[in-house]
Amino acid sequence: MKRTANAEWRGDLKTGKGTVSTASGVLSNSQYSFQTRFEDGKGTNPEELLAAAHAGCFSMALSAQLGGAGLTPEKIETTCTISLERGADGFAITQSHLDLKAKVPGASQEAFDKAVEAAKAGCPVSKLYKTNITLHSSLES
């Protein structure tokens, strides 16, 4: 299975502008720029897209782990925060933090925690990231 997206950039770093599109069409010429990445401009940026990918992938992986334990989640809400920081070598993504709220009828805290850790380690996007991945989770009753 392969998925594709493309980006086009025009101009210099500070005043240039770019667009990103996905083969599915969900993103179609979505704008990004220096302002959307480092300031508060309107549009997306690579880190926001990485955060969406990690939140979505982790949520699906957790659903699979819970299903393997005979549990069906009513709701899984994951917020991912990607940290981009400037260091001696330039900018780097230093952390991906997952904040999870889930409602899983019949789940014990132990079964939930086990599924969460397995999903964190097994999520294909988690495996891709070469950074610190942190997680805070809560099981709603």
Can you tell me the distance from the alpha carbon of 116 to that of 65, in angstroms, rounded to the nearest whole number? 8
Ramachandran sector of residue 114 (left: φ over 0; alpha: ψ -120 to 50; beta: rest): alpha
Strand partners, 72: none
pLDDT at 23 over 90: yes
Q: 26-59, pLDDT tens digit by residue? A: 999 999 999 999 988 889 999 999 999 999 999 9
Can you give the residue ranges of every domain in the chain? 5-38, 46-140
Tell me the CA distances in angstroms from 21 to 15, 89, 106, one per residue in order. Answer: 20, 29, 41
pLDDT at 141 over 80: no
Q: What's the CATH fold of domain 46-140? A: GMP Synthetase; Chain A, domain 3 (3.30.300)
Contact between 80 and 97 (Cβ < 8 Å): yes
Write out the E strands in 73-131: 75-87, 90-103
More confident residue, 140 or 114: 114
